[in-house]
C-alpha cells in the first residue's frame, strides 16, 4: 500500500460531499476516485472536489486499482450490497451509519470482510473526535466512579417529504436509524453494547416511520441509558454520564463534540478542542491508521459492536412493529 491512503467515495450525495471536505484535512490521505450511477453526477462531484478519476458505476469504482479504501455514502438500504461489492473487490470499506438496515444484513457484510481478510468499519464519526476520546480517558480512569446513568438525545424538526429518505420506509426512514443510532452508539460507548433489558416507545407518523422515540437500556449491573431521537421535534443534542462519584457532560452537539466537562467532588475539568476540518477527517484518519498497522477492524468501533448495535435497533423496532419493505 502506498504511504498516502487513496480514497474512493461511493455516492455523490450531501454526506459524500462532507466526507470529501473532511479528507482535505486528513494527513496522508488523497481523494482519488468517485463512483456514481451516472457519468454526469460523477463528473460534477469530481469537478467540485478535484477528483482525478470519475466512474459512472459503483462496480467501476470498486475495481479501480488506484483505490485503497472506499467510503460508502449511499442511503441505508443500499449499504449492505454496496459494501459487499467493495469488499469482494479487495477494498477497505468505511460504511456510513447506520451500518445496515438490520443485524442480519450487518452480519452478512462482516462475514464477507472477515472471510476475505479486508478492513471494514462503521462510520460512527462521533467516536473519533478528540473531546470524545477525552471522555473515554475519564471513564477508563474511573474519574466519576461507577457509571449509573447515561442520557443522550438527537432530535430535529424536518418538513415531511413522503418520498425523502427521512420519511420513506423504502429508504429505511425514521428517527431511530437516522439519528437514534448516535444516542444508542453513545450508550454502547459508555456502558457496552449488550443491555439485558430494552424498553421503548415511538410515535409512528403518517408515512409509517418513527418520527419520535424514547428508548431505555438496562444493564445487568443496574446501570441505565435514557435515549431519545426525533425527526419532527428539536431536542438539545446533549449527553450526560452520571457516576457514583461525579458527572461528565458533553454539550450540544454531543455527536460532534468540541467540549466536555468533568465534575467529581473537588475536581472540575473542562476540555475544548479547536476544530480541525469538519470532523469527518477523524474517522478517515482512523481508517488510515488501521490500514498502516495491518488491522482488519478498528478497536474503537469494532465489528462485533456494530452487529450488537444493530441487534439493539432491531429489538426496539420489533417492540413498535416497525418493519421495512426490504426486510
First to last CA, the chain: 38
Alpha-carbon distances, residue 31 vs 46, 145, 177, 288 (angstroms): 10, 44, 28, 13
- String of DSSP letters for 94-121: EEESS-SSSHHHHHHHHHHHHHHT--EE
34: number of Cβ within 10 Å: 30
Q: Which three cell numbers stand for residue 23?
A: 479528507
Residues annotated as catalytic (active site), given as ranges: 97
Measured between alpha carbons, how far is 34 from 251 in angstroms, rounded to an integer?
Answer: 35
- What sign does the CA torsion over 224, 303, 11, 32 have? positive
Amino acid at each position: 500500500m502506498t504511504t498516502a491512503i487513496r480514497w474512493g467515495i461511493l455516492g455523490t450525495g450531501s454526506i459524500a460531499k462532507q466526507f470529501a471536505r473532511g479528507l482535505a484535512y486528513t494527513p496522508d490521505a488523497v481523494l482519488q476516485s468517485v463512483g456514481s450511477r451516472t457519468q454526469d453526477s460523477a463528473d460534477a462531484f469530481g469537478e467540485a472536489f478535484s477528483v482525478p478519476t470519475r466512474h459512472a458505476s459503483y462496480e467501476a469504482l470498486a475495481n479501480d486499482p488506484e483505490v485503497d479504501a472506499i467510503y460508502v455514502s449511499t442511503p441505508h438500504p443500499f449499504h449492505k450490497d454496496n459494501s459487499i461489492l467493495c469488499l469482494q473487490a479487495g477494498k477497505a470499506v468505511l460504511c456510513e451509519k447506520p451500518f445496515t438496515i438490520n443485524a442480519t444484513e450487518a452480519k452478512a457484510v462482516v462475514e464477507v470482510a472477515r472471510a476475505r481478510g479486508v478492513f471494514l468499519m462503521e462510520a460512527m464519526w462521533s467516536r473519533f473526535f478528540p473531546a470524545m476520546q477525552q471522555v473515554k480517558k475519564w471513564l477508563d480512569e474511573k474519574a466519576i466512579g461507577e457509571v449509573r446513568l447515561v442520557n443522550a438525545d438527537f432530535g430535529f424538526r424536518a418538513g415531511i417529504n413522503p418520498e425523502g429518505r427521512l420519511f420513506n420506509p423504502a429508504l429505511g426512514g425514521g428517527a431511530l436509524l437516522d439519528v437514534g443510532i448516535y444516542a444508542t452508539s453513545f450508550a454502547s460507548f459508555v456502558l457496552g453494547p449488550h443491555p439485558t433489558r430494552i424498553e421503548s416507545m415511538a410515535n409512528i407518523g403518517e408515512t409509517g416511520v418513527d418520527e419520535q422515540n424514547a428508548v431505555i437500556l438496562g444493564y445487568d449491573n443496574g446501570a441505565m441509558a435514557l435515549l431519545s431521537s426525533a425527526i419532527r421535534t428539536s431536542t438539545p443534542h446533549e449527553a450526560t454520564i452520571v457516576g457514583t462519584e461525579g458527572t461528565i457532560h458533553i454539550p450540544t452537539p454531543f455527536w460532534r463534540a468540541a467540549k466536555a466537562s468533568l465534575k467529581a467532588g473537588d475536581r472540575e475539568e473542562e476540555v475544548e478542542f479547536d476544530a480541525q476540518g469538519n470532523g469527518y477527517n477523524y474517522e478517515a484518519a482512523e481508517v488510515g491508521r488501521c490500514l498502516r498497522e495491518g488491522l482488519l477492524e478498528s478497536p474503537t468501533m469494532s465489528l462485533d459492536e456494530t452487529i450488537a448495535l444493530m441487534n439493539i435497533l432491531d429489538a426496539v423496532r420489533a417492540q413498535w412493529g416497525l418493519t421495512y419493505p426490504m426486510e
